[in-house]
Amino acid sequence: MSSVISERDAFLGGKVAYEIYIRSFNDSNDDGVGDLKGITQRLDYLADLGVDYLWITPFFVSPLKDGGYDVADYRNVDPVFGTMDDFDELAREANARGIGLMLDMVFNHTSDQHEWFQKALAGDPKYQAYFILRDPEPGATPEDPGKPPTNWDSKFGGNAWAFSPQMNKWYLHLYDVSQPDLDWTNPEVRAELADVLRFWVDHGVRGFRFDVINNISKGSFEDDFEGDGRRFYTDGPYVDEYLRELVREGGIGDLMTVGEMSSTTIEHCINYTKPENNELTMAFSFHHFRVDNAGGTRWSKAKANIPMLRDTFAAWQERMAEAGGWNAVFWTCHDQPRPATRFGDDSTPELLNVSAKMLPLCTFLMRGTPYVYQGEELGMTNPGFTGIDQYRDVESINYYQIMQDEGKSEQEAFEIIAYKSRDNGRTPVQWNSSAYAGFSTVEPWIGVGCNYEWLNAAAEIDDPDSVYSFFKRLIALRKAEPIIQGGDIRFLESPAPQVIAYERTLGDEHVVVQCNFSGEEQPAVAAEGGEVFVSNYKEAGDGKTLRPWEGTAYVWR
The DSSP element (H or E) to which 502 belongs, if any, is strand 499-506
Terminal-to-terminal C-alpha distance of the chain: 15
Question: Residue 531: what residue type?
Answer: E
Annotated catalytic residue: which of 181, 211, 377, 481?
211
CA–CA distances in Å: residue 326 to residues 12, 24, 33, 215, 253: 9, 29, 35, 20, 15
Q: What are phi and psi of 103, to 5 degrees?
A: -95, 150
Are the CB atoms for 273 and 316 separated by under 8 Å? no
Task: Give the C-alpha separation, 181 to 545, whole Å.
Answer: 52
- Number of Cβ atoms within 10 Å of the Cβ of 85: 11
Are the CB atoms for 160 and 150 separated by under 8 Å? yes
**Do β-strands 509-516 and 522-523 pair in parallel, antiparallel, or remain unpaired?**
unpaired
Q: Which sign does the torsion angle of CA 190, 195, 196, 200 carry?
A: positive
Task: Give the C-alpha separation, 362 to 357, whole Å.
Answer: 9
CA dihedral (238, 243, 245, 251) in degrees, to 10, reads 180
Question: Residue 279: what residue type?
Answer: E
Q: Which sign does the torsion angle of CA 35, 39, 42, 46 carry?
A: positive
* Helix, strand, coil percent values for the chain (each to nearest 5): 35, 15, 50
Show Cβ contacts of residue 508 under 8 Å, excluding neighbours closer than 6 positions.
3, 557
Task: Give the C-alpha separation, 377 to 365, whole Å.
Answer: 16
Chain-centre distance for alpha carbon 71: 18
| Closest by CA position to 218, among listed 197, 238, 245, 202 | 238
Are the CB atoms for 161 and 148 separated by under 8 Å? yes
- Does the annotation count 260 as an active-site position? yes
- Does the annotation count 267 as an active-site position? no
Annotated catalytic residue: which of 78, 112, 235, 260?
260
| Closest by CA position to 252, among listed 205, 187, 203, 182 | 205
- Number of Cβ atoms within 10 Å of the Cβ of 338: 24
Task: Give the C-alpha separation, 187 to 245, whole Å.
Answer: 10
Task: Give the C-alpha separation, 494 to 50, whole Å.
Answer: 32
Residues with catalytic function: 211, 260
